[in-house]
Amino acid sequence: MSTIGAYFRLTRVGWVLVREGVVSALPTQGMPPALALAKSLTRIFVKPRSIKESRAERLARAVSRLGPSYVKIGQFLATRPDVVGVDWSADLALLQDRMAFFPTAISKEQIETSLGRPIDDLYTSFGEPIAAASIAQVHPAEVAGKKVAVKVVRPGVRQRFANDIEGMYLVAHMQERFMRSSRRLRPVEVTRTLEQTTKLEMDLRLEAAALSEIGENTKDDPGFRVPNVDWERTGRDVITMEWIDGVKMSDVAALKAAGHDLDLLAETLIQSFLRHTLRDGFFHADMHPGNLFVDPQGIIVAVDMGIVGRLGKKERRFLAEILYGFITRDYMRVAQVHFEAGYVPSHHDIASFAQAIRAIGEPIHGQPAETISMARLLALLFEVTDLFEMETRPELIMLQKTMVVVEGVSRMLNPRFNMWKASEPVVGQWIRDNLGPKRIMTDLKDGMTAAVKLAEALPEIAAKTEKFHGQLLQMSEHGLRFDPQTAEAIGKAEARHTRSGRWALWVIAIALVAIAVMLA
């Protein structure tokens, strides 16, 4: 029945996308002739007002009609230009995560249930909501005379998202089955990543933990900080944090009026992001200007830590080497790093890949540094990944997308901002510390630690090996057999699968007939 419900929900999604003109705006290039014809026929169902709107406006209207889950799905896909394409990623990035407020009484009920205490015991005052998004809304409140911000999860959002993600999985499985070229992008894995990141975002204790971790990492960093968390008033459905009085980075006129140095802010933002990425391996992955404030002291304060990214030591090293290779025009080294990291399948020719990298890098060196766009660089890189069958790396894609957003904010503050010059102190120091003599000592230390752990695990490994050897001998003598319960379970599962498939086909047929009758 769950699969049937997913088919019904997908039918509604398809109809909304058709009516709002999103389907008709899809590029025809590369489409099979049958699909291209079907797409052209959808134009007759498009609302008249949508025809005059831009593609981004059509998409925003459709997603708003579909509800909070699809706003979140759209925002996630905006971080995956490798999946949806650079142009559609840019359109999805414009989606506004602004929803209608839900009643304050429900917020109070959510807080009391989550924290197990009356609202009057927790806050001396609790105000009406001032901002609402797809997952939560924010209230001003006071604790012992100090103003705080209280973020409360939207009621019913978890079940709504669980229902909608079923449809995403259905589409992803169909895509992998019928579109061989899409398997490189691992659509099922992308959907699983979306599900996992959104589940984490819906548990506000984890956002509080992210704020706490980044707060510790950046406590001595110049010009950057995050709000303090009130752990006593934080639970799964509520987070209470320091209230930030400041100017949003999106309001350039207000920043100028407050006397802030815009060039310094742009430089601080880039350097802070690179420190978090290279030094800490843990970064804010949603650094759009609405999530960045500048306090009266000129310090950047980042909020809304629901989406974060992590990079391991190995990924950070590869990232630095790739960046350094582009800067020094050592394209063969950039290619070697991709092969060493396993980003490019080994059956490809490394010299040909270096040639493709050169085609990206050389035009950059012919431009003034302040005009080089990271967004353009990434667009070219995604084209190369398709040519060389590079598999999707979600953690790197999230990093690259966040870098593009941070670059955009910096150039919003200063259109001629030289990102490469601002980045050099941080990147250069990290390369000296991690790609020079210090790297050898670090590798030796890590190797010794791994050897000690392996030695500690040897007795357990030996016992498991002996047990596995005995099982192999038994199977070679008596064959592989299922017990009666396992065989019966397999039979029942196969029968359920067959029945659900027949039900799904009937549901699709009935839905299509219903739509045809409705349009007649």
- Catalytic residue IDs: 286
Using alpha carbons, select from 251, 177, 239 the residue that is nearest to residue 208: 239
352 token code pair: 């040909």
CB 154 within 8 A of CB 137: yes
363 token code pair: 């035009």
CA 89 – CA 75 distance, rounded (Å):
9
Burial of residue 220, with CB atoms counted within 10 A of its CB: 0-12 exposed, 13-18 middle, 19 or more buried: exposed
∠ CA 454-460-462, nearest 5°, is 90
Using alpha carbons, select from 285, 304, 286, 302 the residue that is nearest to residue 294: 302
CB 268 within 8 A of CB 422: no
449 token code pair: 């630690």
174 token code pair: 């169909």
CB 400 within 8 A of CB 320: no
How far does CA 69 lie from the centroid of its chain? 14
Q: Tell me the Ramachandran region of residue 101: left when phi exceeds 0, alpha when psi lies from -120 to 50, beta otherwise.
A: beta
DSSP 8-state code for residue 24: G
CA 79 – CA 220 distance, rounded (Å):
30
How far does CA 328 lie from the centroid of its chain? 30
∠ CA 29-30-35, nearest 5°, is 90
